[in-house]
Structure 1
């Protein structure tokens, strides 16, 4: 019983329970637009995608599901995003608190980490930021949809709320069959959505740090600095890559004027890091742009936020480790701080296991289908990274492959955080050490 109460395992069980309840609700005739029962695979896939804030769908959300069904989906990705933010943030606090107790006040000052005394503050921050930002974005979208697109107030309000909550939770669900492609040239729609995606995906430990020390960047935690710098690099890298390789593509950015090309490239770069919306046709992208998406989707966003992937902090730690190794330094350092050995091991473990899941998922689907390898890889990374972007093959996959995608979504959303927390919470010092030896590397 004690093992079941382990915080990391509790996360997995809670999310599994939410998926099962969501599946049962979506199977009800009231959830279907035509009033008939929904096949269990369709309901289960949609529930997993919603709870894991992914956005991959096997049916069109706006036409297949009734208003009740859409409301259930919205509730599921709100719980999935908000719940994971809260649980992941509190797990992070527990890890840091344990570290603080072991190293006393000196380590707390050196790391400037969050402590158990911050739990109420962080929980309040999660609650306030979530609902205030979602409300602001929803109102902005509602006004734009009503005034510029002649939707009734009721239609505009529902669409605005649905897309605002979906954006903040990086869920990628849309009630439009073309996602946000109809708004590809409308900055008044895309910019608020981008804002919600970035804030929701950057992680609440970072927002907590910025709130307390916004005017004192020197005292930001190493995690905050790495996350902000890594996020900026990824967003700019994705933006310029998409501009270069899609500039003349007649099926994506080619026909657009300059300002719209910049807007759509920026939106695609932001969305690729686990948001799942698209304002251009993903299936029509060049191979180079797909390759960039592989990387952006795999890395994802910030820890303890609504984004998925292996996380920016993980990638940043690995880069620091590589640089230190190339330079011949015994310690991995950044911004006057040394990255702990346990954090390095955890980052390597998350990266290797995440890569293994992608390889296994790709091989499984390739065996089950005759689809091109690049499209299958895109779909698998999108599922594992809880992104939700697709080249258009999701609904055509056999049920066995769709179920594989649900496993990838669940592991990608719950597994990496659970693994990282388990490694950190379960860390203990051995009473002895074996003699050291150096196997040949390379």
Structure 2
């Protein structure tokens, strides 16, 4: 009896240890949203010196902390300088918080391994295998600030010499948009977002650079910094993220440019070079950033659907991007490919994929689809908005993208609160769920008889 009690106590302690990071990050983000809501409600945060409604403040705070970018009020005109600073800080906190937590999860996973497995993992990633939370956290902070500083400098120079901004204004605008871009937030200090710069590569390309780097994820950036010219040493995660990100960016650019080429309300009014730039820019934004250089509400229905797919997939894990992540999508693709070929195991880049990863990827995708469909149905039942528009907003919220067809501000409070929950779930759900699944593994001493139901 004593032995059984010790076993149960050990199991409970192990489960508590595994769940603690997810609980802490969820409570931490909820606390940040609550504090941000209170600050944004204050008259000092409003350009007119008035109290902001709780739903508007809550929506904006959640969108900033979850680095989404959806808005119900105009960021450029509704908020004062103080309010915009609050939004900027919430964006930075949200982006860095996700990355730090992802690094912590990776550390916990490493500690869960045996000494031999840790040494193997350390040899593969060129680390000690022991992990160091403080060192990882400092590395993430340094990488983030360095990228943001470089992009801010490029934008500042363009604002000063290209648009005649005075230096303080140029520094503020450059800093805000650099931080918003790297953290894949999509908040802008212009009422038309980035539409005024649709043909300006000196503005669009630095923003795209920050978005892509933030969306790759810190593990990839860390390995590229150390082993950029030694691709044979890259991990499976790095290879998948780079290949899938490149493929999706290229496919998104071609798709958006071709479909919208003759649309007079979007690309049709631009010269060919500007059309290509705008097509690439919007393909990058669909990877969960949310800036727009063309009017999203004027896109063709087919373009909305294509962007839905890109937003749902998102960017790389352990970064500032949202969505189900390109690694999850790649795992599902290779599972299907292996099944079609009649294979018995999924092999990626010369290595066999663990069956536990199969289950984790399928679970994340099914829950994501379920959440999006549920919110879409609920909003459809309380509004008269068309399905394609509601679905676009729901996918954008879950993927923490921020692209909008222009209906967010017109939705009733109940629908906006549903999007708030979807943003929160989309930002924290895949990561906390993924860590919980990876850390929750338990051994069963028996197996039931096999039986196959009819499929298809």
TM-score range, shorter chain: over 0.9
Would you say the 8 A contact 2:121–2:129 is kept in 1? Answer: no
1:425 Cα deviation (Å)?
A: 1.2
Q: How many residues align?
A: 442
Tell me the distance in 2 between the aligned counterparts of 1:278 and 1:114: 42
Say yes or no: does 1:252 pair with 2:266. yes
Residues 400-409 or 210-219, more deviating: 210-219
1:211 Cα deviation (Å)?
A: 2.1
Please point out which of 206, 226, 233 is paired with 1:219.
Answer: 233
Say yes or no: does 1:210 pair with 2:260. no
Matched with 1:40 is 54
Superimposed CA distance per residue, residues 321-359 of structure 1 (whole angstroms, 9 cap, x where no aligned partner): 111111111110011001111111100000000000010
Matched with 1:68 is 82
Matched with 1:300 is 314
User: Judging changes above 3 Å, is the alpha-carbon distance between structure 1 residues 36 and 346 closer, same or farther for their aligned structure 2 residues?
Assistant: same
Query: Alignment RMSD, CA only?
Result: 1.7
Matched with 1:381 is 395
Tell me the distance in 1 between the aligned counterparts of 2:132 and 2:265: 50
Say yes or no: does 1:282 pair with 2:318. no
Residue correspondence of structure 1 range 353-368 to structure 2 within 5 A = 353-368=367-382
Matched with 1:13 is 27
Would you say the 8 A contact 2:119–2:129 is kept in 1? Answer: no
Superimposed CA distance per residue, residues 202-243 of structure 1 (whole angstroms, 9 cap, x where no aligned partner): 101111222232221112110111111110111001000011
Matched with 2:96 is 82
Say yes or no: does 1:183 pair with 2:197. yes
User: Judging changes above 3 Å, is the alpha-carbon distance between structure 1 residues 219 and 177 closer, same or farther for their aligned structure 2 residues?
Assistant: same
**Per the alignment, in what secondary structure is the counterpart of residue 6 of structure 1?**
helix
Residue correspondence of structure 1 range 22-421 to structure 2 within 5 A = 22-101=36-115, 103=117, 105-106=119-120, 109=123, 115-117=129-131, 119-421=133-435
5+ residue gaps, structure 2, are: 1-11
User: Judging changes above 3 Å, is the alpha-carbon distance between structure 1 residues 110 and 85 closer, same or farther for their aligned structure 2 residues?
Assistant: closer
The alignment's TM-score, normalised by the length of structure 1, stands at 0.96
User: Judging changes above 3 Å, is the alpha-carbon distance between structure 1 residues 113 and 383 closer, same or farther for their aligned structure 2 residues?
Assistant: farther
1:73 Cα deviation (Å)?
A: 0.3
Would you say the 8 A contact 2:118–2:129 is kept in 1? Answer: no
Superimposed CA distance per residue, residues 145-189 of structure 1 (whole angstroms, 9 cap, x where no aligned partner): 122112221211111111000000000101111110000010000
Tell me the distance in 1 between the aligned counterparts of 2:68 and 2:235: 29
1:104 Cα deviation (Å)?
A: 5.6
Tell me the distance in 1 between the aligned counterparts of 2:222 and 2:114: 18
User: Judging changes above 3 Å, is the alpha-carbon distance between structure 1 residues 354 and 256 closer, same or farther for their aligned structure 2 residues?
Assistant: same
Tell me the distance in 2 between the aligned counterparts of 1:44 and 1:233: 36
The alignment's TM-score, normalised by the length of structure 2, stands at 0.94
**Per the alignment, in what secondary structure is the counterpart of residue 131 of structure 2?**
helix
Tell me the distance in 1 between the aligned counterparts of 2:446 and 2:22: 27
User: Judging changes above 3 Å, is the alpha-carbon distance between structure 1 residues 110 and 187 closer, same or farther for their aligned structure 2 residues?
Assistant: closer
**Per the alignment, in what secondary structure is the counterpart of residue 435 of structure 1?**
coil
1:272 Cα deviation (Å)?
A: 0.7
Tell me the distance in 2 between the aligned counterparts of 1:199 and 1:94: 25
Superimposed CA distance per residue, residues 389-426 of structure 1 (whole angstroms, 9 cap, x where no aligned partner): 00000000000000000000000001110000011111
Superimposed CA distance per residue, residues 189-209 of structure 1 (whole angstroms, 9 cap, x where no aligned partner): 001000000001110111122
**Per the alignment, in what secondary structure is the counterpart of residue 391 of structure 1?**
coil
